[in-house]
């Protein structure tokens, strides 16, 4: 996409987060806070996107969580990790197809092959799924930092 898209979300009563419009977000937290969250999100994403792209990774999407303390906007929770983002190897990107990734999508794809109702407790992951996921995370780390763990 030529420009990033800001998509606010809120906690749903059950299940996953629920995407909402900017106007709905502004109704919930106020126009000033919604604008500050949007502007901060796009600034952080653009910086990270450019940084990662130079290292051969496309950040296809990510999530940021914000809170407030004493009127100050705070970025909370983990950010720009394989758990909160979709990282794709740029040299393997093919528009319109499923993309190889460095993120938890590999685990999600495995879980979709199981007869599991998606309620806790989750199934135990086989050692090969764990080791392949670990390898993907380490590959992303090494590409992004230029260091080995």
Q: What is the pLDDT of residues 67-94, one digit of tens each?
A: 999 989 999 999 999 889 999 999 999 9
Record the pTM.
0.86
What is the CATH number for 51?
A: 3.30.470.20
The residue range of the domain holding 18 is 9-145
Tell whether 96 is covered by a domain: yes
Q: Using one digit for the tens of pLDDT, what is the confidence trace for 36-64?
A: 999 999 999 999 999 999 999 999 999 99
User: How many domains, in total, are found in the chain?
Assistant: 1
Count of all residues that appear for the chain in the document: 149
Q: Using one digit for the tens of pLDDT, what is the confidence trace for 101-111?
A: 888 888 888 99
Tell whether 121 is covered by a domain: yes
Tell whether 120 is covered by a domain: yes
Of 58, 112, 67, 55, which is closest to residue 85 (Cα–Cα)?
58
């Amino acid at each position: 996409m030529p420009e990033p898209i800001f998509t606010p979300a809120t906690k749903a009563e059950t299940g996953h987060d629920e995407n909402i419009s900017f106007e709905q977000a502004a109704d919930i937290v106020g126009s000033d806070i919604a604008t500050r969250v949007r502007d901060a999100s796009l600034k952080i994403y653009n910086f990270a996107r450019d940084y990662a792209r130079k290292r051969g990774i496309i950040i296809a999407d990510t999530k940021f969580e914000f809170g407030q303390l004493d009127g100050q906007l705070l970025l909370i929770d983990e950010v720009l990790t394989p758990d909160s983002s979709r990282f794709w190897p740029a040299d393997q990107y093919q528009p319109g197809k499923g993309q190889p990734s460095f993120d938890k999508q590999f685990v999600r794809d495995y879980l979709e092959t199981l007869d599991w109702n998606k309620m806790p407790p989750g199934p135990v992951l086989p050692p090969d799924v764990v080791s392949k996921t670990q390898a993907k995370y380490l590959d992303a780390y090494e590409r992004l930092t230029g260091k080995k763990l």
